[in-house]
Amino acid sequence: MDIKNNALTNYFRSSWEEFRHVTWPTKNQAVKLAGIVLGFCFASAFVFSILDYVFNLGYTYLLKMS
């Protein structure tokens, strides 16, 4: 088995070549995108917490009825 023509070696070699072609974001772009992701996470957490509260109220109401 030749190590230079090994499938795993070829995979890592081609992966490294593709990795070199990646256009990386600037620091400002990365900070802006991270802020967008964090904002979306906090907004969705807020919406889900409101939904959880409303469903909890409905569930306790149904339990009190029975």
Task: For residue range 2-56, list pLDDT tens digits in order.
Answer: 667 788 889 999 999 999 999 999 999 999 999 999 999 999 999 999 999 999 9
**Model confidence at 1: pLDDT above 80:** no
DSSP string of the chain, one letter each residue: --GGG-HHHHHHHHHHHHHHT--PPPHHHHHHHHHHHHHHHHHHHHHHHHHHHHHHHHHHHHHHH-
> What Cα–Cα distance (Å) separates residue 53 from each residue in 13, 15, 30, 34, 46?
52, 47, 34, 28, 11
CA dihedral 29, 35, 36, 38 (to 10 degrees): 140
Question: pLDDT value at position 22?
Answer: 93
Q: What's the predicted TM-score (pTM) here?
A: 0.62
